[in-house]
Amino acid sequence: MQAVLQRVLHNIYMTQQSIQQGIITMWPLWWEWELELTPHLLKRMEDRDFNEIDLRYMLQNATDFEPDFLTGRWIINSKFKKYPWQIIVEPDELAQLLVVITAYPIWD
């Protein structure tokens, strides 16, 4: 039921279109909000050898997004250094911030 509700909310908040690889991705309102980087993310940035500029590049070049298993969080799919990456975000409606929880490469 929660997954259905997240998908409905996802459809309601869609405002921005991005055309990439022939697929239209509709981005929610929170996609344009300022970023807030968590302490956990900052540690992972050091461990995984990327910085805030790299993170912003990945977000700018994101291909799509989907609900995370935790309610209120989203998985952003992107590529960086020729590898697929996932960025976990949690929109903060009250502060209108997009809180970046973590980011990691997907190794085949």
Cβ neighbourhood burial of 68 (10 Å; 0-12, 13-18, 19+): middle
**pLDDT for 9 beyond 70:** no
pLDDT in tens, 64-100: 999 999 999 999 999 999 999 999 999 999 999 999 9
Q: Does the pLDDT of residue 23 top 70, yes or no?
A: no
Kind of pairing, strands 34-37 and 64-67? unpaired
Taken in order of first residue, the domains within the chain and their CATH numbers are: 2-105 (3.30.2310)
Predicted structure pTM score: 0.78
